[in-house]
Structure 1
């Protein structure tokens, strides 16, 4: 039959829209043998969508949840040591991890036919962040029986009133990591960040190379086009220069011919005047006779 905690965990695996029917069926199943347990089951409230999504992550992404809670241990260690650079790096890592887990939760919900709004997705991330800052909140998350989202406010303990159904969540005793383990984890995270930075730099420089390659191709095409235009203009210039030379030669020849013709015209005019003068003289002689 199972305990109330076990039954609650089982019911909160069901999509919110199917919860009431599943709870009713479970009450009917248990009531003949254990009326008190049946009454307790009937009081279980339906989980909000963000709380249900977090429960799905606990069930289906256990390794990622463990990684998030291990990161929380590192953050507490860095805070105790007042290691500001490590805290800054780990805070960024926490933000990145909670956002990725929230997206994973939305994907799981989609596969199960549950729509997750952007506001609900924000509450999923806030719940994960609360679990990473408060051990009691972490236990509530790991219980798989959350009915509402969690929120962390400053350095205050996370409010868990009415957050877990089917009984209080039990604190999970997490193994303490040695200094060497923490140092190794921090070194690995530093190496991962260096790799991400290098990949980002490579992506940016590769994008710049691609852009410059495109500009270089365009410039070379323009150079080829201008070279063809230059060659055409040079051929046209050579043709014009040849025509100019021919025209200048024709000019010189025509000038010589004109001078010769002009001299011939002057001689002919002189001959004409002489002939006219002779004719005039003969005319006068004839009139006198």
Structure 2
């Protein structure tokens, strides 16, 4: 850029941070210097109240965190890190609301309280700075003449909303790029650690469950062993009782055989005696 371009950006940043009621008169004073730069200053448009409030926020240094969050959000999107996206989404909404409140405070301190509609336009502009790198570059110039709403922006053009030059993006410092690689490596390590911890927890739960199953199996085995021992003792006693009963049967069978022999001998003697009696009678 030429020296006039740089000077115009400086003057525009100064003028656009003034209360809107003072803009026109001060701009005309600065344009009275004449020359090409003076003519360009004379063409600067008065900012809307919302744009002016955001310019105050930029000069107050409150949008740096928003831009850094924007980079982190894009990084999480690139890495498809759902958990990080969810966390950053909540942080983004909280930050947008806080920055919008700070812009309203700055505007009120400068004598121009913001209406509800203007506050909404400020919030949309801050949100644009967070979610879009080119919007952040334009907004952080502190030279807004109109609020920025990404939903109404054509092809990402900020020429109508920024006085003076419009940067393409806000370059990240080398340290930030190094930090980005470090964060990605750290997040990868954290994901690996979380996965290892989940695997370890699963293994611990399975070991605990296996211990319970083993204890139950051992208890059942002990009970079954006790039953087997009891049955073996009963079987041994039953076998002993059987042997004794069989021996008693054999003894009784011998006694019966002797009694049967005695009966037969007695019947034979009786028959002989009866025969002898009958023979004497004749």
TM-score by length of 1: 0.57
Shift of residue 156 of structure 1?
A: 8.1
Matched, 1:16 2:25: no
Distance in 1, Cα, partners of 2:65 & 2:94? 12
Structure-1 residue corresponding to 2:89: 91
Unaligned runs of 5+ in 1: 186-289
Shift of residue 150 of structure 1?
A: 0.8
Distance change (3 Å), C-alpha of 1:11 and 1:174: same
Secondary structure at the residue paired with 1:153? helix
Distance in 1, Cα, partners of 2:146 & 2:158? 9
Distance change (3 Å), C-alpha of 1:72 and 1:96: same
Kept after mapping to 2: 8 A contact 1:150/1:159: no
Residue of 177, 180, 187 corresponding to 1:178: 180
Deviations 1:225-266 (A, max 9, x none): xxxxxxxxxxxxxxxxxxxxxxxxxxxxxxxxxxxxxxxxxx
Kept after mapping to 2: 8 A contact 1:134/1:157: no
Shift of residue 85 of structure 1?
A: 2.0
Counting only pairs closer than 5 Å after superposition, residues 1-289 of structure 1 correspond to structure 2 as 3-28=7-32, 30-31=33-34, 35-60=35-60, 62=61, 64-153=62-151, 158-169=156-167, 171-175=169-173, 176=177, 177-181=179-183
> CA RMSD for the aligned pairs?
2.6
Distance change (3 Å), C-alpha of 1:180 and 1:115: same
Unaligned runs of 5+ in 2: 188-282
Distance in 1, Cα, partners of 2:85 & 2:183? 17
Secondary structure at the residue paired with 1:166? coil
Kept after mapping to 1: 8 A contact 2:159/2:166: no
Structure-2 residue corresponding to 1:260: none
The count of residues paired between Structure 1 and Structure 2 equals 181
Distance in 2, Cα, partners of 1:50 & 1:103? 12
Distance in 2, Cα, partners of 1:155 & 1:3? 28
Distance in 1, Cα, partners of 2:104 & 2:43? 28
Structure-1 residue corresponding to 2:255: none
Kept after mapping to 1: 8 A contact 2:24/2:46: yes
Distance in 1, Cα, partners of 2:79 & 2:126? 24
Distance in 2, Cα, partners of 1:43 & 1:184? 50
Kept after mapping to 2: 8 A contact 1:58/1:65: yes
Secondary structure at the residue paired with 2:63? helix
Distance change (3 Å), C-alpha of 1:86 and 1:51: same
Shift of residue 157 of structure 1?
A: 5.2
Shift of residue 139 of structure 1?
A: 1.0
Secondary structure at the residue paired with 1:106? helix
Deviations 1:254-289 (A, max 9, x none): xxxxxxxxxxxxxxxxxxxxxxxxxxxxxxxxxxxx
Distance in 1, Cα, partners of 2:27 & 2:152? 37
